[in-house]
Amino acid sequence: MGRYLGPKVKLSRRVGVPIADIPKHAGRGELQLPGMHGYRGRRSTEYGVRLTEKQKLRFHYGMLERQFRRFLNIAKKSKGNTANTMVQLLETRLDNVLRRLGVARTIWAARQIVAHGHVLVDGRKTDIASYLVKPGQRVTFRPGIHKLLRENMEQNAGHQLPNWLEWNPAQLTGAIKALPVPEDVPFEVNMHLIIEFYR
């Protein structure tokens, strides 16, 4: 599968929000547009506003366009509010669950932990980053990665656990208590503009 390998802080600057919860992305105060002085003559069209909203979410979850579009199609076909369903699908991806638990500092680090086969969901090895964890399922880790996870948790000392997750740091086990809501995305995003973008 293809993945983005370029500079990641540039993505944060392009969309104006920190796409990773680390000082390199969030520590510059207000994120400037890429370039020495930013692009000063920039005007946003209606299309541009919707594109930026979509890119915020896509970059934050580290997804390529094709996969993001597939998730949106699933959300559209499901019952209930499309915006809420889309956020639930994105937030309950296994790589994102690890990031929200605080055992990985970024989505890319979380994806590597999953891809290397260190994660167990309900006792079964799961090495697919886009695996959707359901409420009630337990996430545990192989013993060989415990030391690294504890180091990551020390670096993420100020990390706040979302309400929809439960976490036992002593045993390094986590679970989903409930489905997330759009307010659980750590920055302001207009889901309706994203849905309009794909019409």
Report yes or no: 15 and 55 within 8 Å, Cβ to Cβ: yes
Report yes or no: 133 and 139 within 8 Å, Cβ to Cβ: yes
Mean pLDDT of 172-181: 90
**pLDDT level of residue 114 (50, 70, 90 thresholds):** very high
Portions of the chain given CATH number 1.10.1050.10: 9-87+187-197
Report yes or no: 85 and 75 within 8 Å, Cβ to Cβ: yes
**Residues of the chain above pLDDT 70, percent:** 89
Mean pLDDT of 69-74: 93
pLDDT at 134 over 90: yes
DSSP string, 145-177: GHHHHHHHHHHTTT----TTEEEETTTTEEEE-
Give the HSE-up count for residue 7: Cα atoms under 13 Å, Cβ half-sphere: 8
- Euclidean distance between CA atoms 70 and 36, whole angstroms: 36
pTM comes to 0.87
* pLDDT score recorded for residue 175: 93
pLDDT at 32 over 90: no
Any bridge partners for residue 64, and if so which?
none
Mean pLDDT of 59-69: 91
- Euclidean distance between CA atoms 120 and 139, whole angstroms: 6
How do residues 3-15 score in pLDDT, each as one tens digit?
Answer: 778 888 888 878 8
* pLDDT score recorded for residue 17: 80
Looking at every residue in the chain, the average pLDDT score rounds to: 86
Portions of the chain given CATH number 3.10.290.10: 93-178
CATH topology of domain 93-178: 3.10.290
Task: Tell me the CATH number of domain 9-87+187-197, given options 3.40.50.10800, 3.40.50.2030, 1.10.1050.10, 3.20.20.210.
Answer: 1.10.1050.10
**pLDDT level of residue 190 (50, 70, 90 thresholds):** confident
- Euclidean distance between CA atoms 52 and 130, whole angstroms: 23
**pLDDT level of residue 94 (50, 70, 90 thresholds):** very high
* pLDDT score recorded for residue 36: 66
Pick the residue with more confidence: 50 or 37? 50
* pLDDT score recorded for residue 27: 58
Hey, what are 111's tokens?
Answer: 């994806």
Distances (CA, A) of 1 to 66, 102, 115, 118: 11, 26, 12, 20
**pLDDT level of residue 133 (50, 70, 90 thresholds):** very high
Pick the residue with more confidence: 162 or 28? 162
